[in-house]
């Protein structure tokens, strides 16, 4: 199972990099989204993939004896998903504003914006 997911992660990463190398600002944001999906899956996989049930405990059991999914990567990924959402939304707004300011959607037109005089 891990092999298939690993290939999926690699494909996501490749697509993300390809998009980030494009000159259209839109594509750059798409690349960012693909990369963040790849990163989330990478962390998720690192805990080992099991199709067993989620980590819900009932009072009778003690947790460590059960064969369950690893909860720690899940918690980390949960945080990462939400942060990733913040990043994407902020970049989208920034992109919109930057497009208005520079008047182009070509990222190569953006490299003179911080020059003095």
Partner 1 sequence: MWLVAVVIVPLVAALGAGFIGRIPRSARPGVLFLPAFLAWIGLLVCGISAFQGNLPTAFSLAWFPQLEVNLDFNLTGLGWLLGLLITGIGSLILLYAGGYMGGAKQEARLYAYLYLFMFAMLGLAFSDNLILTFVFWELTSVVSYLLISFKHEYAEARRNALQGLLITGLGGMALMAGFILLASATGTWRISELALLGDQVVQHPHYIGILTLVLLGAFTKSAQFPFHVWLPNAMSAPTPVSAYLHSATMVKAGVFLLALFTPILGQTPAWTWTLSLVGGITFLHGCILGLLHQDLKKILAGTTIAVLGMLVFLLGLGTDKAFHAAILLLLAHAFYKASLFMMAGNVDQATGTRDLRRLQGLRRLMPWTALTAGLAAFSKMGLPPFWGFIGKEYAYKAGLDTAVPIWGTGTLLLGSLLLFAIAVKVAIIPFWTKPAATSAESKVSEVKLTMRWPPLTLAMLGLLTGLAPSFLQFPVDKAVATITNAPFEASIYLWQGFNLPLLLSGLTVLGGLAFFGLTRSPLLNRLAFKPLADSIYDICLKGVLDTAKHTTKTLQSGYLRNYLLIILASTFVLVFYKLYRFGGWPSLDWSGAGQPLILGVLLLMVIAIWSATTAHSRLVALISLGSLGYGVALIFAFFGAPDLAITQILVETLTVVLFAWVIAKLPDYHPLSSQRSRWIDAGISLTAGAMLTVLVLKAQIIELGPRISELMVDWSLPQAFGANVVNVILVDFRALDTFGEVIVIAIAALGVWALLTRPYQPKPKPASNPNPSKKES
**CB of 103 vs partner 1, minimal distance in Å:** 9
The number of residues that bind partner 1 (CB under 8 A) is: 91
Residues 12-41: x where in contact with partner 1 by CB under 8 A, - otherwise, as a string: xxxxxxxxxxxxxxx-x-x--xx--xx-xx
**CB of 61 vs partner 1, minimal distance in Å:** 8
Considering only residues 53 to 82 of the shown chain, the ones binding partner 1 according to CB under 8 A are 53-59, 62-64, 68-72, 74-75, 77-79, 81-82
Q: What are phi and psi of 76, to 5 degrees?
A: -65, -45
Rule CB under 8 A: is residue 43 a binding residue for partner 1? Answer: no
> Positive or negative, the Cα torsion across 2, 48, 10, 77?
positive
Euclidean distance between CA atoms 69 and 72, whole angstroms: 9
Rg (CA), the chain: 20
């Amino acid at each position: 199972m891990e092999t298939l997911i690993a290939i999926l992660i690699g494909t996501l990463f490749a697509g993300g990099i390809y998009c980030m190398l494009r000159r259209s600002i839109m594509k750059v944001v798409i690349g960012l989204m693909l990369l963040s999906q790849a990163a989330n899956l990478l962390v998720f996989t690192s805990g080992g993939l099991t199709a067993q049930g989620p980590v819900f405990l009932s009072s009778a059991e003690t947790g460590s004896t059960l064969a369950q999914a690893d909860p720690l990567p899940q918690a980390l990924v949960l945080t990462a998903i939400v942060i990733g959402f913040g990043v994407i939304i902020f970049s989208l707004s920034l992109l919109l504003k930057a497009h208005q300011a520079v008047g182009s959607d070509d990222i190569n037109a953006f490299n003179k914006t911080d020059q003095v005089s």
